Amino acid sequence: MKKPIIELKDVWKIYRMGETDVEALKGISISINEDEFASIQGPSGSGKSTLMHLVGCLDLPTKGHVFLDGHDISKLTESQLATIRGKRIGFVFQAFNLIPTLTAMENVMLPMIFNNVSRWKREKTATELLMEMGLKERMNHKPNQLSGGEQQRVAIARALANDPEVILADEPTGNLDSTTGKHIMDLIRHLSKEHKKTIIMVTHDPYIASFAKKKVVIVDGKVGHDHEYLKKILWKSNHEDKKGNPKGGKK
């Protein structure tokens, strides 16, 4: 039986903005098993990135509990949280977030420096990962000398550098055209199938979400249950911009 690696129990996140409180998450309870591939969908502002920050130990809940491998993250020290972020979780972001002055190889080697991996092992691992991502000929390129899809592949290699159990991807295909996005999705599926990683991926795109076995929908800080309502909201967020105008040129 697979055991849950991530569990959220009645999680609230309230941001204090001067005099007002912003309730970004309002009692979220979800559970994700090891090796599971889960998608998180929902309209803009519904709390998806907030949720990812909590699961990634980048932030703590205001109320409720986030368990990682059975440990309540609110009870861990800052240095224990830093170790989890560095070793057990890999992050992939919409905007790639590579360091512009470093080459692809150096970007992938960086997280291993923080884990005191020897230079020899860092080079070997980074080379293998970049080759696996199809970037053999691009190892010495800096981010601005790479296409968007190539940059995201470097970011995926970097996320894998310390061989984490969990990969968190927040809109990993959001800045890519649909063909490149499909290629990145194939790589993410490969991580799930071949590397047996637990993957949580935020996406607006129902087609991309269809790759995931478990689908979580978040609306207004809560896990959604009303399917017809959710379908309508998701359709709107995929076909209309924030002002309600049709999104130009998109399917």
Ligand X SMILES: Nc1ncnc2c1ncn2[C@@H]1O[C@H](COP(=O)(O)OP(=O)(O)OP(=O)(O)O)[C@@H](O)[C@H]1O
Q: Out of ligand X, Mg ion, none, which partner does residue 50 contact, by CB within 5 to 8 A per kind?
A: ligand X
Q: Give the one residue of 17, 78, 179, 244 binding ligand X; rule: CB under 6 A.
A: 17
Out of ligand X, Mg ion, none, what residue 17 binds, judged by CB under 5 to 8 A for its kind, is: ligand X
CA–CA distance, 159 with 65 (Å, rounded to integer)? 25
* Binding at 185: pick from ligand X, Mg ion, none (beta carbon under 5-8 Å per type): none
> Which of residues 125 and 237 has its CB atom nearest to ligand X in the complex?
237
Contacts of 71 (CB under 8 A, 6+ apart): none
Q: Does position 97 bind ligand X by CB under 6 A?
A: no
Q: With CB under 6 A, what is the number of residues at the site for ligand X?
A: 12
**14 or 139, CB closer to ligand X?**
14
Task: Tell me the number of residues near Mg ion by CB under 5 A.
Answer: 1
State the nearest-atom distance from the C-beta of 174 to ligand X, in Å: 9
Question: By C-beta, is 73 or 219 nearer to ligand X?
Answer: 219
Interaction of residue 49 with Mg ion, rule CB under 5 A: yes
CB of 91 to Mg ion, least distance (A): 13
Of residues 26-55, those binding ligand X (CB under 6 A): 42, 44-50
| Of 19 and 194, CB closest to ligand X | 19
Least distance CB 17 / ligand X (angstroms): 5
DSSP the chain: ---EEEEEEEEEEEEEETTEEEEEEEEEEEEEETT-EEEEE--TTSSHHHHHHHHTTSS--SEEEEEETTEEGGGS-HHHHHHIIIIIEEEEETT----TTS-HHHHHHHHHHHTT--HHHHHHHHHHHHHHTT-GGGTT--GGGS-HHHHHHHHHHHHHTT--SEEEEESTTTTS-HHHHHHHHHHHHHHHHTS--EEEEE-S-HHHHTT-SEEEEEETTEE---HHHHHHHHHHHHHB-TTSPBPTT--
Q: Does 243 bind ligand X (CB under 6 A)?
A: no
Chain contacts with Mg ion (rule: CB under 5 A):
49
Chain contacts with ligand X (rule: CB under 6 A):
15, 17, 22, 24, 42, 44-50
